[in-house]
Amino acid sequence: MDFKQLEIFVALVQNESFSIAAKELGISQPTVSLQIKQLEEELDTALFIRSTRELKVTEAGILLYKEAKTLLTKRDRVMEKFGEKNQNRIVVGVSKIPASYILPKILLDYRKMHPNISVVIKETNSVQTIKKVSDYLVDLGIVGMEKADENCDFAPIFEDEFVFICPNTEYYRKLKDSNPTVADLVKEPFISREQGSGIRNKMDAIAKEVGVNHEDLDVVLTVNDDMLVKKLVKIGVGTSFFSKVAVEDMIEDGSMLAIPITESKERYRNLYACWNKKVTLPKHVSDFLDLILKSGDR
């Protein structure tokens, strides 16, 4: 088995046609057939069910497809790391809140140190970012939670506080003046982030302090974008537990209200630098990590 066979196999699964896969790869259809036949013989299993009308992937083929995609992605990543044009590049994985409120100052400082280094930002939620760091698909990560992973190390860089955010209406102004408890607040209609988000993780932890699970909340919407959550809260679609640093400007201009949740032990969270501890980082990458770690001292 080699990478070329896996490329052909993946193209065939995705296109469900020998002729289309061959055209996409720039090779002949008999070559595709021969490589797939050799792969099936080497693995001693059928990867496709062939008929005159259609081509179906077997269960073994589906399993191989997942593994092949991972292997090819890692192969491409290795080629990128050692390609001459990418010696002057760093890829940073980052979750939503750090991307907007922590990363910009770090990028500014890094550009002063390394003006010739290109920085690529890959923004996903915390769980996905940690997975990318673990698989070395990104050089470093900045995330809103820790997650056990044998390949990853974490270091706290910023303490974030959560508050209850709501529209600036008469109802919520009165609610704020009444000094509500968390038990009172979790009865309100909520806008939630998707699973895997550090914000969702913290929201659920705060609610659980008063015996309320996520399924018990009145969740009117689940979205995967922080900016959209803030806009929806502002216009009155719902409320949320949210990072204070991400809404300070809207609180100051009066476009939304924030109610402190001082009774909650879960209202604080750390943002973390994350890196693959099994990889020796190039100097331009370790310089970026040093800046991230020092950002926590400001």
Residue with tokens 């920085």: 119
Q: Among 270, 244, 242, 291, which Cα is nearest to 112's?
A: 291
Reported as a single tens digit per residue, the pLDDT across 211-253 is 999 999 999 999 988 889 999 999 999 999 999 988 999 999 9
Per-residue pLDDT of the chain (298 residues; tens, 9 = 90+): 888 899 999 999 998 888 898 888 889 989 999 999 998 999 999 998 888 778 899 999 899 999 999 998 888 877 766 654 456 789 999 988 888 888 888 999 999 988 989 999 998 888 899 999 999 999 999 998 899 999 999 999 988 899 999 999 999 999 999 999 999 999 999 999 988 888 899 999 999 999 999 999 999 999 988 889 999 999 999 999 999 988 999 999 999 999 999 999 999 988 999 999 998 888 899 999 999 998 755 4
Q: Cα–Cα distance between 246 and 227 in angstroms, integer?
A: 9
Q: Which residues contact 198 (CB under 8 A, 6 or more apart)?
A: 95, 97, 125, 126, 143, 144, 145, 269
Q: Cα–Cα distance between 5 and 19 in angstroms, integer?
A: 16
Q: Which two tokens stand for residue 191?
A: 């806008």
Bridge partners of residue 243, in order along the sequence: 162
Reported as a single tens digit per residue, the pLDDT across 135-157 is 999 999 999 889 999 999 999 99
Which amino acid appears at position 204 of this protein? D
